[in-house]
Amino acid sequence: MSLASPVWLWLLVPVAVLAALYLLSLKRRSAYAVRFATLPMLERLVPRRAAWRRHLPAALLLVAFAALSVAAARPQADVRVPRERATVMVAIDVSLSMKATDVSPSRLSAARDAAKRFIDQLPDTFNVGVVEFAGTATVLAPPRPDKDAALDAVGALQLQEGTAIGEGVYSSLDQITALQRREGAKVPGRIVLLSDGTTTMGRANAGAAQQAAEDDVPVSTIAYGTQNGVVDVEGQQVPVPVDPPSLAQLAQATDGTAYTADTASRLDQVYDDIGDSIGYRTAERDVTPWFVAAGLLLAMVAAGLSLRWFARFP
């Protein structure tokens, strides 16, 4: 929380002075009673009511003054608000290693289902596009507020040879920047890239990451699969372990977030997290009315308790 006018916090000084004077008066009252009253009279001078009742109204009133003092400083709080617009490119690896069955029923099948659920949960005002990449990258659906086209594109993913993660990023960036030029506005963009391997073809990840950073487009990566994945190649069982470090470097270089998922349920959770981060932004909101309301409410409670217990205001 921040304060728009922190100078008004000086009002807390007289509140502290009032608290000190209250404590001093209690000390003097106690000393006076002991000095001038005989022991049999102390029970009459000091009421038998609970001690906390005598102090609660005053304490509430002091807290109310403190809340009103903070309200004068105009407190601001960070809150999550829905984004009105954004462009999301979903880039999915369709290399042959994605047919591994270490994730049931296969990496590609589970990734396809999870991507559909992710796209379906995005706000209707978002532009969403789909890119598949293997040896090269192909735009299956350009970014636009048409979820049906994106969902159909995900359903059409086909396995191919090679892994060109960098090309997947470049193609996604091209779509985002082209849309921004057409609309004449810099709508926030995000690439959500899922892969299970290491770049073996096309341009390097480092160059793609640098371009994404320059375009201010974060890349959230999902390293999908396990270290025990294998695929059948001409009767040979070929290991295809997932490679989280290279994808994490890509995300870190673009101010994105790196995730790992080794099950279909975990992948759903990752997409949910990404959806929350994309669909909302953090904005400052003036919360002065809350502090004013709290201060007034506490003051009224203090007055009510004092009237109820002592037939006077605190």
Which positions ≥6 away from 54 have C-beta within 8 Å?
A: 47
**What's residue 93's pLDDT?**
96
Which residues, in sequence order, are CB contacts of 182 under 8 Å at separation 6+? none
- Rounded to an integer, the average pLDDT of 185-210 is 92
Residue 286 burial class via C-beta count within 10 angstroms: exposed 0-12, middle 13-18, buried 19 and up: exposed
In this prediction, residues 289-300 reach a mean pLDDT of 87
Encoded amino acid at 219, one letter: V
Mean pLDDT check: name the lowest of 41-45, 108-112, 143-147, 239-243. 41-45
Residue 14: per-residue pLDDT: 85
pLDDT digits over 221-280, tens only?
Answer: 999 999 999 998 888 899 999 999 999 999 999 999 999 999 989 999 999 888 887 766
Place of tokens 């979820």: 147
Give the whole-number percent of the chain exceeding pLDDT 90: 50
Q: Which of 139-148, 254-263, 303-312 has the lowest mean pLDDT?
A: 303-312
Question: In the structure encoding, which two tokens stand for residue 149, read together?
Answer: 């086209």
- Write down the pLDDT at residue 25: 80
DSSP symbols for the chain: -EES-GGGGGGHHHHHHHHHHHHHHHHHHHHHHHHHS-HHHHHHHS--S-HHHHHHHHHHHHHHHHHHHHHHT-EEEEEEEE-S--EEEEEEE-BGGGG-SSSSS-HHHHHHHHHHHHHHHS-TTSEEEEEEESSSEEEEEEEES-HHHHHHHHHT---BS---HHHHHHHHHHHHHHHHHHHTS---EEEEEEESS---SSS-HHHHHHHHHHTT--EEEEEES-TT-EEEETTEEEE----HHHHHHHHHHTT--EEEESSHHHHHHHHHHHHHHHHEEEEEEE-HHHHHHHHHHHHHHHHHHHHHHHSS--
Q: Which two tokens stand for residue 240?
A: 């295809």
Band of pLDDT at residue 41, cut at 50, 70 and 90: low
Q: Identify the residue with better confidence: 83 or 75.
A: 75
Of 108, 144, 107, residue with least CA distance to 127:
144
pLDDT band at 288 (very low <50, low <70, confident <90, very high): confident
CB 89 within 8 A of CB 131: yes
User: 189 near 86, Cβ under 8 Å?
Assistant: yes
- Confidence band, pLDDT 50/70/90 cuts, at residue 184: confident
**Most confident stretch, 18-22, 57-61, 142-146, 308-312:** 142-146
d(CA 115, CA 271): 8
Domain spans of the chain? 2-78+285-310, 83-262
Q: Which fold is adopted by the domain 83-262? A: Rossmann fold (3.40.50)
